[in-house]
Structure 1
Amino acid sequence: MSFITVKNLWKEYGAQVVLENLNLEIKQGEFCTLVGASGCGKSTFLKMLLGQEQASRGTLNLEGEPFPPQPDRNRGIVFQRYSVFPHLSVRENVLMGLELEQKPVLGKLFGKARREALVKVDAMLEAVGLSGAATKWPHELSGGMQQRLAIAQSFLMRPRVLLLDEPFGALDPGIRSDMHQLLLRLWKETGTTIFMVTHDLHEGFHLGTRLLVFDKVRRDPHDPQAFGATITYDLAIGKTDQHLLEDIETDLSKTARIQAA
């Protein structure tokens, strides 16, 4: 049985079709990168995996059972804009997830439970290179360090599925390269199943084990909302040649021109 199964999945908002007829079988531990033109439903698909959006038609299953309709600890998410608590230190930000999980009412751990949680927090800060910034406030961190903090928050909770929505889009190329290496190392260490949205085809090809291209194959010039995007390429990375990547770039450029017209 596949870890995640997507069958005949559609997402519609009234007369607007965002996604149509998605079909996927995902194994546990895969790193899937999602690319496509703006507005092709990539982030909407992430929201469906997270539980923020529900399918209009079709099924979305986790180990044979419907995905929980609400976000839970088994699904983590990292956005392009850093999802951290500005009033908490770096260390307190990472600790917060464990506190809310174990003490959802009080939101605080004490005594032995707190000491044990802080051991895990400090180990994660070491793993992401933030040990020296543990007592700093988020606004004192660079963009790359803030994104390291967001990644630390997610990986500490050991989610079964991690969703990344353009997590490195706001970073300069040098920092992005460092973040790529960090993400790949944590993914290999944890075996987490990852879905990452990116506008950068080459980033998607470099990071993932599988490249999913979202695009519209049907268009009505008189009713642009009548048809949604689907998965036009589903590629095992490592078996993809340069000519095919060039074809994908051509297709995505064509879609962008149509949208701009």
Structure 2
Amino acid sequence: MSELIIKNVWKEYGDQIVLEKVSLTVASRAFVALVGPSGCGKSTFLRMLLGQEQPTRGTILLDGELLSAEPGPDRGVVFQRYSVFPHLTVLANVLLGKELMASKFKAKLFGAARRAAIGEARQLIAEVGLSGAETKYPAQLSGGMQQRLALAQALIMKPKVLLLDEPFGALDPGMRAEIHTLMKRLWDETQMTVVMVTHDMREAFTLATRVVAFERPRDRPEEKQRYGATITRDISIWPPRLAGQNSIYGPDRDDPVVSLGQYRDGPAPSGEK
């Protein structure tokens, strides 16, 4: 399970209030898009979910437990700026999380554990559409391919919650549409909850199960220091979208006919790879 419960969260920096009275429950396997004007605290909220920052007041629970004070493998993150390591190949980038978990100092796996991790990494690389690029470096990849790599890098740890901070904003429209299709499939096929910050309303309503808007109800210049942003809209998408299930009006237009998740643990059907 991967339910998030945010209770009366405030975030302040000295005398400046960034967020106030934020309460939200995100069901397990939901896909929530956070929207709102620049500077209203969306990315700050995401960093609190990641554990990079702590609430000034209030609590954040993951599956009924207080969120740990530091980022952990239960939360993956993909930023707008590609967060891959330029000196590592595609395969090494995806393997790194597993290696760090095995040994924080040497960052290496050995023997059977390494072979199993490489097999898992190669499968994930193929699923995000980078098969054949395992030995390439990020500089040899297009922007869309680097973002696919960043997704694989986050997903190798099987996070309960995937956090996306405007991850597709720098992509051209055609590449963004491809990544949207990939993101829908990955969400369908895994057990994770997704929380995404975006300025693109079309993107929010295309991908999410809910769209949550942050705004400052008091936004005059003299009020910005003493009043923070809060949730002003919480819109559930209709018809409802559920991970792993088609819409009640049939599958989405760009959903694949056959999902890789249908045969993830076994051989592909004849003619599939």
TM-score (norm 2): 0.85
1:188 match: 188
SS at match of 1:105: coil
**Corresponding residue for residue 215 of structure 2:** 215
Residue-pair matches, total: 240
The amino acid that maps onto 2:54 is Q
Q: Residue 47 in 1 paired to residue 47 in 2? A: yes
Distance 1:32 1:3 in 2: 12
CA contact (8 A) 1:215 1:232 kept: yes
1:174 correspondence with 2:141: no
Residue 258 of structure 1 corresponds to: none
Q: CA deviation at 1:239?
A: 5.7
Q: Equivalent residue of 1:180, what SS?
A: helix
Letter in 2 for 1:233: R
- Alignment deviations for residues 220-248 of structure 1 (CA, whole Å, 9 cap, x no partner): 432422111111111111169xxxxxxxx
Structure 1 vs Structure 2: percent identity of aligned residues? 57
Unpaired stretches in structure 2, ≥5 consecutive residues = 241-273
Measured in 2, the distance between the counterparts of 1:163 and 1:78 equals 6
Corresponding residue for residue 12 of structure 1: 12
- Report the residue type matching 2:64 in the other structure: G
- C-alpha displacement of 1:206: 0.6
* Preserved CA contact (<8 Å) 1:220 1:227: no
CA distance in 1, matches of 2:156, 2:83: 15
Q: What's the secondary structure of 2:121's corresponding residue?
A: helix
The separation in 1 between residues aligned to 2:190 and 2:173, in whole angstroms, is: 26
1:132 counterpart SS class? coil
Read off the aligned partner of 1:91 and give its amino acid letter.
Answer: L
How far apart, CA to CA, are the structure 1 residues paired with 2:116 and 2:219? 56
> Once the two structures are superposed, what CA deviation does each residue of 1:149-202 show, in whole Å capped at 9, x if it has no partner?
000011111000110000000000000000001011011100210100000111
SS of structure 1 residue aligned to 2:163? strand
Q: Write the distance in 2 (CA, Å) between the matches of 1:112 and 1:138.
A: 28
Q: Which residue of 2 aligns with 1:31?
A: 31
How far apart, in 1, do the equivalents of 2:163 and 2:102 lie? 23
| 1:231 corresponding residue in structure 2 | 231
Alignment of 1:108-187 (within 5 A): 108-187=108-187
The whole-number CA distance in structure 1 between the counterparts of 2:51 and 2:237 is: 28
Q: CA 1:116–1:161 in 2, change beyond 3 Å: closer, same or farther?
A: same
Distance between the aligned counterparts of 1:64 and 1:119, measured in 2?
A: 34
Q: CA RMSD in A?
A: 1.5
Contact 1:219/1:226 (8 A) holds in 2: no
Supply the AA of the counterpart residue of 2:57: R
Give the Å deviation of 1:30.
0.4
- Partner of 1:133: helix, strand, or coil? coil
Contact residue 6 and residue 23 of structure 2 kept, 8 A = yes
Report which stretch shifted further, 51-60 or 38-47. 51-60
Is this contact kept in 1: 2:2–2:192, CA < 8 A? no
Residue 68 (structure 1) aligns with: 68
The letter of the residue matching 2:79 is F
Instruction: State the Cα deviation string for residues 106-159 of structure 1 (Å, max 9, x = none).
Output: 101122111111100010011001011111011000000000000001111100
Report how far residue 58 of structure 1 moved. Answer: 1.3
What is the SS of the residue equivalent to 2:132?
helix
CA shift, 1:19, in A, is 0.5
Return the alpha-carbon distance in structure 2 between the equivalents of residues 210 and 15 of structure 1. 32
Aligned AA for 1:225? Q
Match of 1:197 in 2: 197
CA–CA separation in structure 2 for the residues paired with 1:114 and 1:221: 56
Kept in 1: contact 2:2–2:193 (CA 8 A): no
* CA–CA separation in structure 2 for the residues paired with 1:220 and 1:213: 19
Equivalent AA in structure 1 for residue 187 of structure 2: W
Amino acid at match of 1:39: G
Secondary structure of 1:37 counterpart: coil
